[in-house]
Amino acid sequence: MPGNNDNPLRTYERIAPFYDLLDLPFEQVRYRSLRPLLFAELNGRILDAGVGTGRNIPFYPTKAEVFGVDLSPAMLARAARRTSKSAASVRLMPMDLTRLAFQDDFFDAAVASFVFCTMPAEARLAALRELGRVVKPTARIRLLEYAAARSPFRRALARAWQPWVKWAFGASLDGDVELELSKAGLAVRNSRYVTGSIKLIEATPAQSGKA
C-alpha cells in the first residue's frame, strides 16, 4: 500500500514489521469477510494493486495468474510469506502505482483493497489512470475503499479514529475515490456499501479512453 502524503515509502517501510498486528482487529472484524468480493468471477491475469502484506493472497482465484505490486519492499517481503496459501500463480513486484511497468491492455482484471484512501488526490488520479491503461477494454476493476459513513454515529467514530489512522497508515476514512474515476477515464458499473463505511466499487475503462 502507499503511505502518507509526506513520504509513502518511508511510512510503509517503517510500519511493515507491525502492520499485520496493528491491522488485526480490522482484518478479523471487517476486512477478511469482504476480500472474496474482490475476486468473485475473476480469472486470467489479475493485478493486485497495492498488495501490502498479502492479505488478499489466500482469496486469489485458483486458476489465475496474479501480479501483486507495492511500493514497499518490506511489505512485499511479508506478502511473500503468504504465497504458499494460494493455488494461483503469484508474482510480487516492487512498483509505484502511478508508474506501472506493464504494457497497455495487459491484465484481464485489477483489484485494490484500501489503497486509494492512503493516497493524496494527485497520486490517486495518476494511479487510477494507470489501472485503466494496463487492463483490457472489457476488464473489471474492483476497489474496496473507505467512504464517508452513512450514519452520523459512524461519521463521528471515524473522526475520532482519524488522527491515529493517519499516523499509522497514512489513510483517510472519509474520502470518496468514486468521484475521481470518471476523471481517470473509468466508468463506474456498480457501487455499494458493504459495511457502514466501506464501499465495493466496480469500474471498467470508458470506451473513449481505450480507443
Given a cut of 50, the residues of the chain with pLDDT beneath it are 1-5, 208-209, 211
* Amino acid in the structure at residue 98: T
| Predicted pLDDT at 211 | 45
| Predicted pLDDT at 153 | 52
**51 found inside a domain:** yes
**65 found inside a domain:** yes
* Amino acid in the structure at residue 66: V
- Cα–Cα distances (Å) from 121 to 70, 149, 177, in that order, read 18, 20, 9
**111 found inside a domain:** yes
Burial class (CB in 10 A: 0-12, 13-18, 19+), 48: buried
d(CA 83, CA 68): 10
Q: Cell triple for residue 21?
A: 498486528
| Predicted pLDDT at 95 | 96
pLDDT in tens, 12-60: 777 777 777 777 777 888 899 999 999 999 999 999 999 999 999 999 9
Burial class (CB in 10 A: 0-12, 13-18, 19+), 97: buried
pTM for the full model?
0.84
Distance between first and last Cα of the chain: 30
CATH number at residue 77: 3.40.50.150
Question: For the chain, how many structural domains are there in total?
Answer: 1
Q: Cell triple for residue 36?
A: 472474496
d(CA 77, CA 54): 9
Residue-number span of the structural domain to which 132 is assigned: 8-210
Q: Cell triple for residue 195?
A: 459495511
d(CA 32, CA 47): 19
Q: Cell triple for residue 81?
A: 510469506
* Alpha-helical regions (H) of the chain: 8-26, 32-39, 73-80, 121-134, 152-169
**2 found inside a domain:** no
